[in-house]
Amino acid sequence: MKTSCEECAWCDGSQHDKMKLVYFEAANEAYKAACAEFDALRGLFEDVKWYHFETHAREWANPWHCSLASSNICLHGRRLKLVHRDARLVANHVRKTKYYSGPVSAAPHLPPAVVHAELLDAHKTMRRLESARYDAYTYAPGGKEHLQILKKYRGVNGGSSCSQALSSRSEA
């Protein structure tokens, strides 16, 4: 049973290695973008927690100190312009924006749960992409996951006899 790219009927395996690298590099770029998104959201979440504290502290009573109503507070955000590139959406331009800037007394409430949900989603995506970077190697013929699939689903082994038939036909 042939399970390795090096035994391919159409090439010596070098084309497979090049393709694996292309897929890895694309997946690695997606992972790096997910890491950058997570870091940006983590920073925003810290700012939002402080902003949330200040907008709630203005309503406190003794014995706690309330925020001074005339104190200024500012919360920055960012706006992404998404464009299609290679059949996927990517952030083409990031523009800093202000969510609010002015006195604490007039600042609107912003529940941290809104940004926290985005942060959790970004973390989940980052972790998924972290391991998915190597899928081109692990699921390719001869890879660890590929071999596990062959063991689990014995009927899949018929695919290798098909490639053997093709290779014997090309030799004739």
Query: Average pLDDT of each block of 10 consecutive residues along the chain (172 residues)?
Result: 53 75 89 89 92 85 75 83 67 76 90 92 94 87 81 66 45 48
Residues 172, 166: Cα–Cα separation, whole Å: 10
For residue 64, how many C-alpha atoms fall within 13 Å in the half-sphere facing its CB? 10
Q: What is the pTM of this model?
A: 0.68
- Residue 126, pLDDT score: 94
- Residue 8, pLDDT score: 59
Question: Which contacts (CB < 8 Å, 24+ apart) does range 145-152 have?
Answer: 146/3, 147/3, 150/1, 150/3
- Residue 91, pLDDT score: 62
- Residue 119, pLDDT score: 94
